Amino acid sequence: MQTVINVEQLSKSYGNLLAVDKISLSVKCGSVYGLLGANGAGKSTMIECILGTKDPDSGTVSVLGYNSKKDRRRLFQNVGVQFQEGDYQPEIKVSELCEESACLYEAPADWKKLCEQFGIGNKIDHAVKSLSGGERQRLFIVLALIPNPELVFLDELTTGLDAKARRDVWKILSELKSKGLTIFLTSHFMDEVEALCDEICILRNGKAVFFGTVEQAKKASGYENFEDAYLMLSGEEVEKE
């Protein structure tokens, strides 16, 4: 199977803090890859180094065969990104934000249809700042899908969504995956990871402590429940009473 993201020996530090320590990983075409870890474990730094918005201290990154810094403009024709704290112009409306995003791509998806799919179709004339947290989160997933991407990065994709909306998002992402989309995500919800991810990598203080599938994680930790397995592997285990 073809490799979409290939990271080798990536390191990045901020002053004395080693945020990412010699991590290598590869993501296969058409799979869903989950990058897990506690707050501050290095997930966002990792994503930013892959996307080229941060410079790694050492190591190499290739995305769809491109160097994300040098070939930025060609690469991002085919890659969608949703950042944890996406921001927008203060007075902008949903329709304007979508239109502005869509016009940057050669073959964009129909953003009105995407808004309908994600349940914000009736909000397109509203100001983005007037949306609820959950609606805004869905809008930012829509923005990431507007390029009609081969690969999408979703950083904490369903934070702030209610149970029904999360299920809806999973369903749409699974459909897109079956059409060949590769998804790279981070999440703090283990049910979501279990439902979506083919492969996971668990980070702990900037080091990769586990690679494999959800089932392998359960086996390696000896826990039936994936959340328990995650907590044990990530070193966040709750002290037993």
Partner 1 sequence: MKSFGILLKNELKLNIRNMNMVIFAVIMPLLVLIVLGFIYGTKPAADGVSYTFMEQSFGALCCISICAGGLMGLPLVVSEYRERKILKRLKVTPVSPAKLLLVEFLIYVIYCVVSMFTLFTAAMLFWKIKIHGSFLLFLGSWLLTMVSTLSIGLLVGGIAKNMKSASVIACILYFPMLIFSGATLPYEVMPVAMQKIISIFPLTQGIQLMKAVFLGLPIENALLPVTIMIAVTLICFGISVKCFKWE
Would you tell me which residues interact with partner 1 (CB under 8 A)?
Answer: 51-53, 72-74, 76-77, 79, 81, 83, 85-92, 96, 99-101, 103-105, 147
Amino acid sitting at position 225 = N
- Please, which residue, 105 or 170, has the CB nearer to partner 1? 105
CB-wise, 22 or 69, nearer to partner 1?
69
- In whole angstroms, the minimum distance from the beta carbon of 154 to partner 1 comes to 13
Residue recorded with tokens 């296969």 = 28
Neighbours of 21 (CB within 10 A): 16
- Residue 107 φ/ψ, nearest 5 degrees: -135, 75
Residue with tokens 């000896």: 222
Q: How far apart are CA 7 and CA 59, in angstroms?
A: 8
Tell the smallest beta-carbon distance from residue 187 to partner 1 (Å). 19
**What is the closest distance, in whole angstroms, from the C-beta atom of residue 185 to partner 1 in the complex?**
15
Nearer to partner 1, 53 or 213 (CB): 53
Q: Are 139 and 93 spatial neighbours (Cβ–Cβ below 8 Å)?
A: no
> What's the Rg (C-alpha) of the chain?
18
- Give whichever of 41 and 81 is closer to partner 1, judged by the CB atom: 81
To the nearest whole angstrom, how small is the minimum distance from the Cβ of residue 49 to partner 1? 13
Q: Are 43 and 200 contacting, i.e. CB atoms less than 8 angstroms apart?
A: no
